[in-house]
Amino acid sequence: MTVRFTIRWPALRVAVREGRPAWICIAVIVFASLIGWMAVRLESVDASAGVRWAGMVLQWSGILTIARGLSDMRGRFGRPTLASAILGWFRGLVSAFKTAKTLSAIVTGTGGITTSGEVHVRLVGGPGASVDQRLAALEENLTRLQKETDQRFEQARRDIAQTQEMIQREGQEREAGEQRIRRDLEEVAVGGLRLESIGLIWLFLGVIYTSIPEVVAAAAEALRGWL
């Protein structure tokens, strides 16, 4: 009986891409172990010292990774990064011990009045105007009034359309902002702690390596003999 295995490359690529945090975690552990092995081979130290070297690498990797994750989380919600916050605190501390400086300034100013408005012209027949002249003036006034009314109506229509567009754009921006905040909250609550989790694993292993290096070295020696 022959069993054939078919590799589904798209599914394999997706699985490898989704497992990227695990690959990073394993790669750093292997790198720390390689540092410990090189310390044993090159520096001629015992196995427990090599384990301590590997533990130190894991501890620093964990601390830096957790700090990076916390900084990214602060930046995601519009807060300054940890480095910026610490630097700002030092600047404030230094400024508290600076001597005050006396500043002198000359203030000059200019003023002016700007007026704007609309000018309405109305034709009025004189005392000796005839009936036809009065009717012509009245007709001209009605024509101008109609034009002014049409202009005001058109301006009001443009203002209403502009206001509606602003309200619609504001609604879209608010909806996009709410969706972004929702994604950030979901990322933090569900999947955003991957980086911190990896750093915690490295830090945990580093503490074990540096706390009981003899036991870890003996376990590694026993595992190598068993393999």
Q: For residue 191, what pLDDT band results from cuts at 50, 70 and 90?
A: low
Q: How far is 183 from 87, CA to CA, in rounded Å? A: 30
CA nearest neighbour of 59 among 192, 224, 215, 213: 213
Q: What is the mean pLDDT of residues 29-39?
A: 89
22-31 pLDDT, tens digit each: 888 888 999 9
In a domain, 114, yes or no: no
Q: How far is 92 from 96, CA to CA, in rounded Å? A: 6
* Residue percentage of the chain with pLDDT more than 70: 74
In a domain, 202, yes or no: yes
3-state secondary structure 182-202: HHHHHHHHHHCCHHHHHHHHH
Q: What is the DSSP letter of 99?
A: P
In a domain, 106, yes or no: no
Q: Which domain holds residue 50?
A: 12-76+132-226
Q: How far is 29 from 156, CA to CA, in rounded Å? A: 69
Q: In the predicted model, what is the mean pLDDT of the chain?
A: 77
In a domain, 34, yes or no: yes
Q: Which two tokens stand for residue 4?
A: 């054939």
pLDDT of residue 103 exceeding 60: no
194-218 pLDDT, tens digit each: 677 888 888 898 999 888 888 888 8
Count the domains in the chain: 1
Per-residue model confidence (pLDDT) at position 115:
42
In a domain, 41, yes or no: yes
pLDDT of residue 113 exceeding 50: no
Of the listed ranges 70-74, 148-152, 218-222, the one predicted with least confidence:
70-74
Q: Which two tokens stand for residue 63?
A: 């601390």
Q: How far is 67 from 73, CA to CA, in rounded Å? A: 10
- Contact yes or no for 96/85 (Cβ under 8 A): no
- Contact yes or no for 28/60 (Cβ under 8 A): no
Per-residue model confidence (pLDDT) at position 192:
54
Separation of CA 33 from chain center: 35
Residue given tokens 């919600």 in the structure block: 77
Per-residue model confidence (pLDDT) at position 183:
74
Of the listed ranges 156-160, 165-169, 214-218, the one predicted with least confidence:
214-218
Per-residue model confidence (pLDDT) at position 160:
92
In a domain, 209, yes or no: yes
In a domain, 91, yes or no: no
Taking the whole predicted model, whether its pTM rises above 0.75 is answered as no
In a domain, 122, yes or no: no
pLDDT of residue 122 exceeding 60: no
Q: DSSP string of 19-88?
A: THHHHHHHHHHHHHHHHHHHHHHHH---HHHHHHHHHHHHHHHHHHHHHHHHHHHHHHTTPPPHHHHHHH
